[in-house]
């Protein structure tokens, strides 16, 4: 009985010491590479510049010219050609025939 109590006590103290990381993901539609201050834009973005200086900047990425494929990639973790069994490309192809 004492062993079980000690095991539970040790487990609860290790669980309490683990802290979740603070992750802030900012997604903006229709934002170009040079539209943000830390890339040399004339537009002042001091808050985003400070966040970029203190955090992680993702400089190598893959996006689409419209937002829905990029959003589906973010929500599913898969490339857009693998979402929805590639049905979207078939529908776009048939639309332009």
Q: Which of 24-28, 39-43, 73-77 has the highest mean pLDDT?
A: 39-43
pLDDT of residue 10: 62
Lowest mean pLDDT among 26-35, 50-59, 64-73, 80-89: 80-89
Q: Are 42 and 48 in contact (CB under 8 A)?
A: no
Q: pLDDT of 65-90, one tens digit each?
A: 777 777 777 778 877 666 665 555 55
Q: How far apart are CA 17 and CA 51, in angstroms?
A: 26
- Name the pTM for this structure: 0.46
């Amino acid at each position: 009985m004492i062993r079980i109590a000690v095991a539970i006590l040790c487990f609860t103290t290790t669980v309490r010491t683990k802290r979740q990381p603070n992750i802030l993901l900012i997604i903006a539609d229709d934002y170009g590479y040079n539209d943000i201050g830390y890339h040399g834009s004339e537009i002042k973005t001091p808050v985003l510049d400070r966040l970029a200086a203190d955090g992680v900047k993702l400089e190598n990425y893959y996006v689409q010219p419209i937002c829905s494929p990029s959003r589906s990639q973010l929500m599913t973790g898969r490339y857009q050609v693998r979402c929805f069994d590639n049905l979207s490309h078939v529908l776009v192809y048939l639309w332009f025939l």
